[in-house]
């Protein structure tokens, strides 16, 4: 049984307790412990965490980037010149094993999508892209409408228009 209130995602702080986080994937655990704070501070990625009693139980990281036109789905590349396409990368998303199956992953993704819409208001963005770690992760993202890149089936993307629609926007 989990104790303490589960808080909505907030930007990572030095005071957040990271050392007990375990999502079952060593690469994601290592990222949170060793690289998330440095990347957050340097501005190369922003990490948002959900905590219970200040202990991180879920997180995701966002970074801006671009993809080559040939790597985009037909819908994302449609009507665009053959230049790199501006995207936001969902660089990481993970949930502690103690919270898996609770809907926290879905909540973290929704928060990331909302922040993506906010970012699109101040700069050009065409889509969110995620590099799924495995088939299980791919299945999770496909449930939310992400489509596979024609050059890598684990590289998934969601058109900004679809994000707006899924969140009840215009």
In a domain, 1, yes or no: no
In a domain, 118, yes or no: yes
Q: Residue 117 and residue 125: Cα distance in Å, rounded?
A: 9
In a domain, 67, yes or no: yes
When pLDDT is cut at 50, 70 and 90, the band that residue 80 belongs to is: confident
For residue 76, pLDDT over 70 is answered with yes
In a domain, 46, yes or no: yes
Mean pLDDT of 15-24: 95
Q: Residue 141 and residue 149: Cα distance in Å, rounded?
A: 13
For residue 170, pLDDT over 60 is answered with no
In this prediction, residue 7 carries a pLDDT of 75
84 φ/ψ angles, rounded to the nearest 5 degrees: -55, 140
Q: Structural domain tally of the chain?
A: 1
In this prediction, residue 2 carries a pLDDT of 57
Mean pLDDT of 56-85: 93
Helix (H) or strand (E) holding 163: helix 160-166
In a domain, 47, yes or no: yes
For residue range 141-153, list pLDDT tens digits in order.
999 999 999 999 9
List 31, 48, 60, 141, catalytic entry: 141
For residue 62, pLDDT over 80 is answered with yes
> What does pTM read for this prediction?
0.92
In this prediction, residue 1 carries a pLDDT of 43
- Contact (CB, 8 A) for 113 and 129: no
In a domain, 144, yes or no: yes
In a domain, 3, yes or no: no
> Is position 31 annotated as part of the catalytic site?
no
Which domain covers residue 136, as residue numbers? 10-166
State the CATH number of the domain containing residue 31: 3.40.630.30
In a domain, 5, yes or no: no
């Amino acid at each position: 049984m989990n104790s303490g209130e589960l808080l909505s995602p907030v930007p990572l702080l030095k005071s957040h307790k990271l050392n007990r986080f375990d999502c079952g994937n060593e690469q994601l655990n290592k990222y949170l412990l060793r690289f998330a704070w440095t990347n957050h501070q340097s501005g190369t990625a922003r990490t948002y965490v959900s905590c219970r009693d200040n202990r991180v139980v879920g997180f995701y990281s966002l970074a801006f980037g671009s993809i080559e036109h040939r790597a985009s789905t037909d819908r994302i590349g449609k009507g665009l010149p053959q230049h790199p396409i501006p995207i936001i990368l969902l660089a990481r998303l993970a949930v502690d094993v103690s919270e898996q199956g609770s809907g926290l992953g879905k909540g973290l993704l929704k928060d990331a999508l909302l922040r993506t819409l906010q970012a699109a208001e101040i700069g050009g963005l065409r889509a969110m892209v995620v590099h799924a770690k495995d088939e299980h992760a791919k299945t999770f993202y496909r449930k939310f409408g992400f489509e596979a890149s024609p050059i890598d089936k684990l590289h998934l993307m969601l058109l900004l228009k679809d994000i707006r629609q899924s969140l009840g926007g215009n």
